[in-house]
């Protein structure tokens, strides 16, 4: 059986179980306890939120049906109110096999997995060890200032470090490397910009973060550059691939429906990008690709007739 990673503080990982079904809690505890996990119980949605706030669990396991509210509502609250970090895995459990619509709603609310009881102990522990390891590493990076606290993506400092690492690999392998910088603008119900509203911007960033997580490739490196700008460093990607990546990310963001009651009706996206086909043949510092892609986004934003996606042009914008 897998051994769970210890947290940066050296304590065993803490699992918060939210369910009013005693047999469910006991069965999960019987799996987690002998394998190094500490367990915190909550019997309704209100207790889940309170104990997550005070306990800062490393994983949250929620029943789809809680006595006071739907588990998916609690999951969404954990994410949107930032009671847990973006890297904290939330797993939903069901006593039966949930319908596809229920699974999709749980994933849209921010769950990482939807599992049916009874659990396969070995598979469950393997999944959990992988999830907790990812969270532990993310927490360590956050403490070093390499991760943006609001989104869970790399900070500017973390992005620069990863860019150098990926650039060294691309140079050695003589492969392509691209950078796409995405600018997002929150839109309210009247179709007007809402970026000046801090709450609306936070909701827009949540939409962007979820869309990116579901769309970007596992090899893509995502970071937050500024208040409403994100960067994606894409290994083995030339200029055409960078353009397609920008289009794909924009479509994912703009097609995502905001949660009911949010202050934004949607998010508009523009992007700048730059790429080289062979980093060894055309040696460019990866950070310079980031700077050029950022400049291309500035060109798009300052010239309304230049289109929404712009490759870096030193002499001025050229519409795509």
Question: Between these two residues, 211 and 190, which has the higher pLDDT value?
Answer: 211
Q: Nearest Cα to 77, choosing from 59, 52, 96?
A: 52
Tell me what pLDDT residue 311 has.
93
Confirm if 271 and 249 have CB atoms less than 8 A apart. Answer: yes
Rounded CA gap, 82 and 78, in Å? 6
Rounded CA gap, 136 and 142, in Å? 10
Tell me what pLDDT residue 7 has.
56
Phi, psi of 302 (to 5 degrees): -95, -10
Residue 110 pLDDT more than 80?
A: yes
Rounded CA gap, 145 and 152, in Å? 11
Confirm if 159 and 223 have CB atoms less than 8 A apart. Answer: yes
Q: Give me the residue spans of the domains in the chain.
A: 14-143, 156-311
User: Which CATH architecture fits 14-143?
Assistant: 3-Layer(aba) Sandwich (3.40)
Tell me what pLDDT residue 79 has.
86
Q: Nearest Cα to 298, choosing from 226, 202, 240, 195?
A: 226
Share of residues in the chain with pLDDT > 70 (%): 87
Confirm if 94 and 116 have CB atoms less than 8 A apart. Answer: yes
Rounded CA gap, 238 and 286, in Å? 13
Determine which of 55-64, 103-112, 193-202, 304-313 has the lowest per-residue pLDDT on average. Answer: 193-202
Tell me what pLDDT residue 196 has.
47
Q: Nearest Cα to 32, choosing from 77, 79, 97, 93?
A: 93
221: tokens are 């490196």
Rounded CA gap, 14 and 36, in Å? 9
Tell me what pLDDT residue 188 has.
67
Rounded CA gap, 221 and 170, in Å? 14
Q: pLDDT (tens digit, 9 = 90+) per residue, 254-277? A: 887 766 666 667 788 999 999 999
Tell me what pLDDT residue 4 has.
56
Determine which of 54-68, 190-204, 277-291 has the lowest per-residue pLDDT on average. Answer: 190-204
The mean pLDDT value of the chain amounts to 84
| Class in CATH terms, 156-311 | alpha beta
Tell me what pLDDT residue 300 has.
87
Tell me what pLDDT residue 318 has.
46
Percent helix, strand and coil across the chain, each to the nearest 5: 40, 20, 35
Rounded CA gap, 137 and 155, in Å? 15
Chain position carrying tokens 């102990």: 121
Confirm if 231 and 293 have CB atoms less than 8 A apart. Answer: yes
Confirm if 118 and 27 have CB atoms less than 8 A apart. Answer: yes
**CB neighbours of 5 closer than 8 A, spacing ≥ 6?**
13, 129, 132, 133, 136
Q: Nearest Cα to 245, choosing from 292, 157, 296, 309?
A: 309
Share of residues in the chain with pLDDT > 90 (%): 38
Rounded CA gap, 84 and 18, in Å? 14
Confirm if 313 and 298 have CB atoms less than 8 A apart. Answer: no
Residue 117 pLDDT more than 70?
A: yes
Kindly indicate the confidence band of residue 317, based on its pLDDT and cuts at 50, 70 and 90: very low
Rounded CA gap, 264 and 193, in Å? 9
Kindly indicate the confidence band of residue 9, based on its pLDDT and cuts at 50, 70 and 90: low
Q: pLDDT (tens digit, 9 = 90+) per residue, 50-103? A: 999 888 899 999 998 899 898 899 998 898 887 888 889 999 998 878 788 888
Rounded CA gap, 231 and 221, in Å? 8
Residue 193 pLDDT more than 80?
A: no
Determine which of 9-13, 133-137, 307-311 has the lowest per-residue pLDDT on average. Answer: 9-13
Tell me what pLDDT residue 171 has.
92
């Amino acid at each position: 059986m897998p051994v769970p990673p210890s947290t940066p503080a050296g304590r065993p990982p803490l699992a918060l179980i939210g369910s009013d079904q005693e047999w469910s809690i006991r069965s999960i505890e019987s799996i987690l306890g002998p394998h190094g996990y500490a367990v915190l119980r909550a019997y309704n949605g209100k207790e889940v939120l309170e104990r997550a706030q005070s306990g800062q669990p490393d994983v949250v396991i929620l029943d789809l049906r809680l006595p006071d509210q739907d588990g998916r509502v609690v999951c969404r609250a954990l994410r949107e109110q930032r009671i847990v970090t973006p890297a904290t895995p939330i797993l939903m459990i069901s006593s039966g096999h949930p319908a596809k619509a229920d699974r999709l709603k749980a994933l849209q609310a921010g769950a990482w997995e939807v599992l049916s009881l009874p659990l396969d102990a070995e598979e469950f522990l393997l999944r959990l060890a992988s999830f907790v390891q990812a969270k532990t590493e993310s927490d360590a990076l956050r403490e070093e200032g390499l991760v943006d606290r609001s989104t869970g993506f790399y900070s500017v400092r973390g992005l620069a470090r990863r860019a150098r690492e990926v650039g060294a690999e691309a140079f050695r392998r003589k492969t392509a490397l691209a950078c796409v910088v995405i600018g997002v603008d929150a839109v309210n119900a009247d179709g007007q910009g809402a970026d000046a509203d801090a709450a609306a911007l936070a909701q827009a960033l949540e939409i962007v973060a979820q869309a990116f997580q579901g769309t970007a490739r596992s090899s893509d490196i995502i970071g937050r550059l500024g208040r409403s700008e994100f960067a994606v460093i894409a290994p083995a990607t030339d200029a055409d691939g960078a353009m397609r990546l920008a289009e794909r990310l924009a479509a994912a963001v703009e097609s995502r429906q905001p949660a009911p009651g949010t202050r934004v009706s949607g998010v508009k996206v523009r992007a700048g990008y730059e790429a080289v086909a062979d980093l060894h043949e055309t040696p460019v510092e990866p950070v310079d690709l980031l700077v050029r892609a950022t400049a291309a986004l500035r060109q798009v934003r300052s010239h309304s007739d230049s289109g929404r996606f712009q490759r870096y042009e030193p002499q001025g914008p050229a519409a795509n």
